[in-house]
Structure 1
C-alpha cells in the first residue's frame, strides 16, 4: 500500500469511526483559518509567522491532550480490564466445535452457538461480532502473532493445530477503519480499542505533525496563503480526531464494563470519582451510554429497569 493511498484512507476511516463527532473539528479549523488570514503576515523570523505558530501550538495542544488522557489511571484500568479478557475462563471456552452447545454465554447467559476464533470463548449469537463492511478496504494486520507461535509450539494434534493456526492468522484488524474480523463482543472491543484504534491514533498523529511541518520544510513550494491554510486546517482536523479517538476508546471501554456487571473485571471504575465521565459517556455514546453510567436517583433507576428489556445486540450497537 502506497503512502498516498494510506493517507487518503485515514480521514475516511476517521469519519467512519467518529461519524458526527468529527463536526467538533469545524470550529477549530475555522480558528486556524482566522489565525492564518488574520496573523499570517506578522513575521516572527524567517519562515515563522504568528498565525502559523498559533496553528502549530493548537495542534501540539490537542495532541498533548490526547496523550494526557491516555496516561490517566482510569484509562489504564479500563485497558487492563479488557486486555485480560475475564470473560474467557475454563467454563466458557472450548477448542472443539462439538462442545459449544453445552456452554453458557458469559455475556448473555444464553446457550452458546458460536466460538470466538481468538479467545475460544463460546457465546450466543447476539454477543458475536461480525466483520464490518469496510474491513476489506485497505490492508489488514494479524493481531496475535504470539498466539500463532504458541499454537505451533504446543499443539499435539496436527489437525486441531492447523485449524487453530488458521483461525489465529485469519483474525485481523484494519487500522485505517478500526475494524476487526469475526469474534466475540469482548475481543472485538478489546482489540479494536487497544490494537486497531491505537494504530489509527498513531497514524493520525504522525500525519497531523507532518502536515503542520510541511510549510517549514519546503517553504519554496508551499508559499501561498491558501495552501498553508489548507495544511493548517487538515493538521488541526487530524489532531482533533486524535482526541476524539482516545475519548471513544475510554467511553466504549467503560460502557462495556458497566453493561456486563456479572463479569469479574479487575478494576471497578467508580463514577463518583470521575464526574467528567458521567457527562462524557452520554455525549460520546448517546442514551444507552447514559443508562449504563446512571447513578441511583429515581429517574436513573427507571432507566435501568427499562434497559433490562433492551436486547444485548441493541446494547452492543452503541460500541460501534
Structure 2
C-alpha cells in the first residue's frame, strides 16, 4: 500500500564522480581549522597548555603524596608561592627596566575662579617685588610717554579705585546724593497724597454701614487683609465721623465718595481692587517689608473701643445735647453722631 514515492529505491553502487581535474573534487579532511589545531596541540602537549606554574604543581603533588589535606592547609601552604606580577621571572612580559616605584598622586589643580571682590583684587594685584640690595644704586628712569586722554582700566589697581566707579561717585556728590548703590523704593510708583497725621502710618478709609452691600464687603475684605499681615493701621470710618469723608474728598476728589481707600506713608495705593490684586500677586507682603511699617495689633487690641476709635460721648451720652441752666445746647465734645474719640487709644 502507499504511493510510489514511499517505496524503497535501491541506489546504484556506481555513483558518478567528476574528473580529477574538476574543481568539485576536494578532500574535506585536508582542511585544518585553527581551533582544531589548537585543541590537538593541547592534547598532545598538556604540560605546555597548562597555566599553573611548575612550582605550584610540585607543591600540590607533594601534598598529595603526604596524604589527604584540608583546603585551609593547602591554602596556607601555597601562600608562599603567591606570584608577583611585577617579577620578570614569573611574568616574562614585564620589562625589568620599566618596573618603577609607584608615583604619588598629583595634587589637585588650582582653579582661577573667585568668589568675592577681595579675591579678584588679590589675583589682579601685582606681587610685591623684593627690595634691592643697598650696595646697588637705584637708577630712576623716566619712562613717561604722553597718551591720548581717555579712561583706561588698570587691571593691577584695586577695583574700588576703578575710574568709572570714581566718576560715578563724583557725579553723586555733585548732585548731593550719598555715594552707594541706589535702593529701590516700592512707594515711588504711587502718587504722593498725605492724609492728616498719616505721613508715617498706614491709613484706611472705610465704612461700617451695610447700606451698600458691595462697598461693605470691599471694606471688610481690605480690613481682613491688613489684619492677616499684622500691620498696624489707622482705620478711619467715614460713617462714624463726617470729617473723615471730607479729608478723603480733599485728597482724591470725587473718587473719595467710594471706600475703601488705602494710604501707606503718604502714598495713595488705591481701592479694594488694587489692594486685593497686590495681595494675590504677593507684592503686598514685599511692600510691607520694604517700607518697614509697624507690625502688631495696634488699635485692634484697645479695651475701650475695640478698634472702632470712637466711643459714646461721656458728657451727653450720645444725644449731642447738654443742659446749661434752663436751655439745651449742642455738646462740643462729640461729633454729629454723638461719638467722641476713645481716650485710651487717642
* Category of TM-score, reference length = shorter chain: under 0.3
More helix by share: 1
Q: Which has the higher contact order (CA 8 A, sep 6+)?
A: 1
Q: Which protein shows a greater Rg?
A: 2
Query: TM-score if structure 1 supplies the norm length?
Result: 0.19
Query: TM-score if structure 2 supplies the norm length?
Result: 0.18
